[in-house]
Chains A and B, each alone.
Chain A
Amino acid sequence: MTAPAPLNKTIYTWNFKACAVIAGLAGLFLLWRFFFGIGSVSNMNDGYPWGIWIAYDVVVGTALACGGYAMALLVYVFNKGEYHPLVRPALMTSLFGYTLAGISVMIDLGRYWQAYNIFLPWHSNLHSVMFEVAVCIGTYVMVLWVEFAPTILEKYKAEQLRVRLNRVIFVFIALGILLPTMHQSSLGTMMLMAGYKLSPLWRTGFLPLLFLLTALLMGYAIVMVESFICQAWFKTPSEMPLLSKIAEFIPWLLGVYLLIRLESVNLAGNLALAFNGSLQGNMFLLENALLIAAFVILVQPKNRVRSKMLFLASSAIVLGAALYRIDTYIIGFDPGTGWRYFPSVPELVITLGVVATEGMAYMWVVNKLAVLPKAEHA
């Protein structure tokens, strides 16, 4: 496997400029939001207090950023050192994903200037799931920066600091495994409090476990998708042998997930709701169909060595698991007073702006820092 190296290509491509335009537009709407209130740009309302800024940017966004967590688990806990080349790119996507999720939270918080209250002991509510999630995510963002620091220090030749950091980095690696385990499952617990407002197709005591499993599934799947995209765009060498190996245990994870997911609804006698033709029912079917399709593909060994099939399956996992999370936070949530929610255009643009910012940061970093494996024809 080739050592990671900066790509050193032109950054200001057409893609980069497109991202910049979207981010700029989002910036304008953000100004509006901060002067005239959240309701002036978004369709969120008293019935649906959380929209896509939470459901997508934070709940899906952090899961998409679980590549670093999923790979670290593999490399450090299951002692599979051979996956090491995948850790750096995964860590970087995690870093961006989580940092931007943190920024999204600040956009979404109504009284953001008091956000530090969470850390003041006389305000902290240890019973609140939101408290746990907020503290965990906040700490994890810092941990990610420390974990990624060696890559930056390399670039700026800060050798002494890098060596010193390497001596204690195991603590941060450990935290980098513990914290996502905690807050990713808690993102599931969070919606338990919605009680009857959450449809029985999603409401189950297994929410924390299902959220943890989707975080891992998305983590591994996004590492694969990202690797395929980098091959196509940046012409980095294929990582197929490693990806095939990851694909070997995904069916297990996915199988356990599907079993719990479907049985928890079935045993509670609510499976009929899936077939009543409602939006909720259809989304439930779609979400699970995607994951079952991925399972069917990956359970056959011959498909795991075919890059097209792997790409298809990992994309289906990302989509299916993301949908599961959006369903739990928006589609499956019904306050029952005739409220409706569909994101407004400015609301969508702000979310797109966050994604575009992430894209720009990604392009900049892979060109400047040693993250991706060295390109074949560079």
Chain B
Amino acid sequence: MKIERRDFLKGALGGGLLLAADAKPAAARHVAKELPPNAVGILYDATLCIGCQVCVGACKQANNMPVEHTAGTDPLWENPEDLSAKTLNIIKKYGSGDYPVKDTVAGYSFVKRHCMHCLDPACVSACPVSALRKNSDNGVVTYDKTACIGCRYCQVACPFNIPKFEWLSATPRIVKCQLCSHLLAKGGISACCAACPTGASLFGRVEDLRQEAKRRLAMTPGDSYDFPVASLGSKEFQSHKAGHYIQQIYGESEVGGTQYMLLAGVPFDKLGLPTLPDESFVALADGIQYAIYKGMVYPLVVLGGLIYMIRKGEGDKH
């Protein structure tokens, strides 16, 4: 009997070690997520943004969000603090010194922050009750307060610190940009893009937005080009001189790609956007979870083994 027991233990231990060794390859095997069939998103071009914050006001109006007075008379402008439970999007300003030239490292730049609508969203994976879901058609990441239990794991998991929590409410919700899905449902476009006067925030299908971004990266700085306004399908264009772009589309591949993408003349880490690997952390955690549990088969096998051993042990005693 003793030998059987030991063999079982050895097997279990060996299995455990294998699983630990297996963890990394499991993550590496994970393939990049495909775009949902009708993925829509936003392309933000910092070189076109004039920092007017019309999008911030439009977002509040479209989503019934309260006005927020955080500090002084010009709160959103001067307060570098991030988004909050009252603010779904924000224009932040990067600046170094008094150098007045826009979109240069030594000068200044704007950046618009809100949910990235990741292709492999950490928040969706984290949420135990599927309160956060990624729409399988347009890829928008939505929130359902009737499901949410308020565990705030989405906040821990989101690499962009996007979900916010109503800390001072007895019935708190998670708050984040849902790409104006109520407007999309009526065939409209996101309020921030509709309001943007320069086309810096541009709505469209993600595939087309990627094309548009590539077109801009190939432009000769200083030459004049036509830039679409509001949405890629609109017939409205404005002529601007092409900026000195950093040759990167932020969101093209970060953590598996995102449906909100950015272009800028200043490196993105300076604008407060984290430098991230192409593989999402979801893939890593999922890989390990999967390797360990293989769909609950392992736990059941172990449970069977344990029951067997406990009964044997009891039997030995009597």
Instruction: Select which of B155, B288, B314 is within 8 A of A205 by beta carbon.
Output: B288
> Mask for B290-318, Cβ within 8 A of A = 1, else 0?
00110000010011001101110110110
A124 to B150, CA, bound (A): 15
Q: Which of A73-81, A275-283, A365-373 contacts B (4 or more CB under 8 A)?
A: A73-81
A–B complex contacts, Cβ < 8 Å, 20 sampled? A34-B170, A37-B170, A50-B156, A75-B313, A76-B306, A79-B5, A81-B317, A108-B151, A110-B173, A112-B150, A123-B130, A123-B131, A171-B307, A174-B306, A178-B302, A189-B288, A195-B157, A195-B281, A336-B161, A336-B274
Are B167 and A173 in contact (CB-based, < 8 A)? no
Q: Does B239 lie at the interface of the complex (its beta carbon under 8 Å from any beta carbon of A)?
A: no
B15 within 8 A of A: no
Task: Encode B175-209 as 1/0 by CB contact (under 8 A) with A.
Answer: 00000000000000000000000000000000000
User: Are B303 and A130 in contact, with the CB atoms below 8 A?
Assistant: no
A114 touches B149 (CB 8 A): yes
Q: A269 within 8 Å of B by Cβ?
A: no
Partner-contacting stretch, out of B69-77, B121-129, B215-223? B121-129
Bound Cα distance from A171 to B252, whole angstroms: 51
Q: A169's closest neighbor in chain B, by CB?
A: B310
A36 close to B (CB within 8 Å): yes
With A35-B170, A205-B24 as given contacts, are A76 and B149 in contact (CB-CB < 8 Å)? no
**Which B residues are closer than 8 A to A by beta carbons?**
2, 5, 9, 16, 20, 23-24, 27, 80-85, 122, 125-131, 145-153, 155-157, 159, 161, 164-173, 272, 274, 276, 281-282, 284-286, 288-289, 292-293, 299, 302-303, 306-307, 309-311, 313-314, 316-317
Q: Within the assembled complex, what's the spacing in Å between the Cα atoms of A173 and B311? A: 10
Q: Are A192 and B128 in contact (CB under 8 A)?
A: no
For residue A185, CB closer than 8 A to chain B, the reply is yes
Residues of A within 8 A of B311 (CB): 170
- Please tell me if the beta carbons of B152 and A196 are within 8 angstroms of each other in the complex: no
Residues of A within 8 A of B (CB): 34-40, 44-47, 49-50, 75-79, 81, 108-112, 114-115, 117-118, 120, 123-125, 127-132, 134, 170-171, 173-175, 177-178, 181-182, 185-186, 189-197, 205-206, 208-209, 333, 335-338
Q: Is the CB of A111 within 8 A of B274?
A: no
Check B150 against A111 for contact (C-beta < 8 Å). yes
From the candidates A37, A108, A209, A335, name the one contacting B169 in the complex (CB within 8 A): A37
**For B299, what are the chain A residues with a Cβ–Cβ distance below 8 Å?**
178, 182
Instruction: Please name all residues of chain A whose beta carbon is closer than 8 Å to the beta carbon of B23 when the two chains form the complex.
Output: 205
B128 and A130: CB pair below 8 A?
yes
Contact yes or no, B303 A178, CB < 8 A: yes
Asked whether A208 and B292 contact (CB < 8 A) given A49-B165, A170-B307, A178-B302, the answer is: yes
The answer to whether A205 touches B272, judged by C-beta atoms less than 8 angstroms apart, is no
Quick check: B157 and A174 within 8 Å, CB to CB? Answer: no
Asked if A195 meets B292 with Cβ closer than 8 Å, knowing A37-B167, A45-B167, A178-B306, the reply is no
**Complex Cα–Cα for A189 and B311 (A):** 32
Complex Cα gap A103–B127 (Å): 20
Q: Which chain A residues lie closer than 8 Å to B172 at the CB level? A: 37-38, 110-111
Q: Are A46 and B303 in contact (CB under 8 A)?
A: no
A195 and B302 alpha carbons, distance in the complex (Å): 30
Q: In the complex, are the beta carbons of A170 and B310 less than 8 A apart?
A: yes
Contact of A197 with B159 in the complex, beta carbons under 8 Å: yes
Q: A279 to B10, alpha carbons, bound, how many Å?
A: 41
Q: How far is the CB of A84 from chain B (nearest CB, A)?
A: 10
**What residues on B are CB-neighbors of A205 within 8 Å?**
20, 23-24, 27, 284, 288
Residues of B within 8 A of A336 (CB): 161, 274
Residues of B within 8 A of A206 (CB): 20
Given contacts A112-B149, A114-B150, A193-B281, 4 further A-B contacts (CB under 8 A): A127-B286, A128-B125, A129-B289, A170-B311
Secondary structure of the A contact surface, majority rule: helix
- A46 vs B81: C-alpha distance when bound (angstroms): 11
Determine the chain A residues whose CB is within 8 A of the CB of B276 once the complex forms: 195-196
Say yes or no: A46 contacts B165, CB within 8 Å. Answer: yes
What residues on B are CB-neighbors of A38 within 8 Å?
167, 172
Which chain A positions have C-beta within 8 A of B5? Answer: 79
CB nearest neighbor in A for B314: A170
Q: Closest chain A residue to B155 by CB distance?
A: A49
- Which chain B positions have C-beta within 8 A of A127? 125, 286, 289
List, in ascending order, chain A residues with CB within 8 A of B316's CB. Answer: 79
Closest residue of B by beta carbon distance from A43: B167
Question: Are A110's CB and B125's CB within 8 A?
Answer: no
A118 and B122 form a contact (CB under 8 A): no
Give the docked Cα–Cα distance between A192 and B286 (Å).
10
B309 touches A77 (CB 8 A): yes
- Cβ contacts under 8 Å, B130 to chain A: 123-125
Q: What are the residues of chain A within 8 A of B149 when measuring CB–CB?
A: 109-112, 114-115, 117-118
Say how far A340's CB is from chain B's closest CB, in angstroms: 12
Given A124-B129, A174-B307, residue A132 in contact with residue B167 (CB < 8 A)? no
Q: Which residues of B contact A190 (CB under 8 A)?
A: 153
Interchain nearest-CB distance for B28 vs A (Å): 11
State whether A50 and B128 are in contact (beta carbons under 8 Å apart), knowing that A76-B313, A182-B299, A192-B281 are contacts in the complex. no
- Taking the nearest CB of chain A, how far is it from the CB of B76, in angstroms? 16
Residues of B within 8 A of A129 (CB): 126, 285, 289
In the complex, what residues of A have CB within 8 A of residue B159's CB? 195-197
User: Once the chains are docked, how many angstroms separate the CA of A130 from the CA of B155?
Assistant: 13
Smallest CB–CB gap between A55 and chain B, Å?
A: 11
* Cβ A177 vs Cβ B306 within 8 A: yes
Closest to B307 in A: A174
Provide the bound-state CA to CA distance between A342 and B287, in Å: 33
Whether the pair A76, B128 counts as a contact (CB closer than 8 A) is no
Complex interface: chain B residues within 8 A of A123 (CB): 129-131, 147
Query: Nearest CB to that of A33 among chain B residues?
Result: B170
Q: Which residues of B contact A124 (CB under 8 A)?
A: 128-130
Q: How far is the CA of A125 from the CA of B128 in the complex (A)?
A: 5
